[in-house]
Amino acid sequence: MILEIKNLNVSLDDKPLLTDINISVMDGARHLISGHNGSGKSTLVGAITGAPEYTITSGNIIFDGRDITHENATTRALSGIFVGTQNVPEIPGLTILSLLKHSAAAHHHFQTGRDLSMGEFLEKTESIREQLNIPREWLNRSVNVGFSGGERKRIMLMRLVLTNPRLAILDEPDSGADADVQMQIANTIKSMPNTTFLFISHQKNFTDAISPTHITTLSNGHIVI
């Protein structure tokens, strides 16, 4: 069991958004969270990843056997929880290569206790770039500036593969992506057996391509039994 959510209640500005949520996510699963807009899916993602705007009023989040309910988002990320959000901001002046280097170095040091050499980073990044067929010139551009929705998703895939997390939470990764990019996302997910995926999607073709191993449906902040 990689993730256990026990009797979780979450609010925003004193307004209850999630009530008595219980979910168990198995190692290696491709677990779909479904539900209509406003059902609480993105709130659940925020609660798991430590988004500060949400308040956990009761319950527990157990990741890899450790209670992370009150840990901050940075600690959760370094511990092996990756999040791919719907709307990633533009960061003028910060190149994609620099972003990838900072992310990879932080994860490497947290997990191994040693620094990541530039040679190691560049070799790994080039291999992933070729694997995902991402143009080399993208790496010297500012993060997400001038990129289409699909291109931003492909950059997200680079971060995902580079950090190789224990758990990847993807909030509508198919949003803004054309059919080819959606298929690339699905194929990348299925090519990472050591990563557990918890993902949100409204598109049947995309979810069918991923072949979810488990499905949990939310409605009005509750799990639909």
Q: Which tens digits make up the pLDDT trace of 179-189?
A: 999 999 999 99
Residues 167-177: tens digit of each pLDDT: 999 999 988 88
Q: Which helix (H) or strand (E) holds 158?
A: helix 149-163
Mean pLDDT of 204-210: 92
Pairing of strands 214-219, 30-34: parallel
pLDDT at 90: 86
pLDDT at site 33: 95
Q: How many residues does the chain have?
A: 225
Count helices and strands in the chain by DSSP H and E runs: 7, 12
SS3 state at 212: coil
Contact between 158 and 100 (Cβ < 8 Å): yes
pLDDT of residue 106 exceeding 90: no
Q: How many Cβ atoms are within 10 Å of 123's Cβ, its own excluded?
A: 11
Q: What is the distance between the alpha carbons of residues 110 and 115, in angstroms, rounded to a whole number?
A: 9
Any idea where the domains of the chain sit in the sequence?
Answer: 3-223
**pLDDT of 114:** 86
- pLDDT of 97 reads 94
Strand order in the sheet with 55-63: 15-25, 3-12, 55-63, 66-67
- Express as a percent the part of the chain with pLDDT over 90: 76
Q: Looking at the predicted structure, is the pLDDT value of residue 19 above 90? A: yes
3-state secondary structure labels for all residues of 83-131: EECCCCCCEEEEEHHHHHHHHHHHHHHHHHCCCCCHHHHHHHHHHHHHH
pLDDT of 77: 92
Banded model confidence at residue 69, pLDDT cuts 50, 70, 90? very high
Mean pLDDT in residue range 110-117: 84
What is the pLDDT averaged over residues 23-45?
Answer: 93
Q: Which fold has domain 3-223?
A: Rossmann fold (3.40.50)
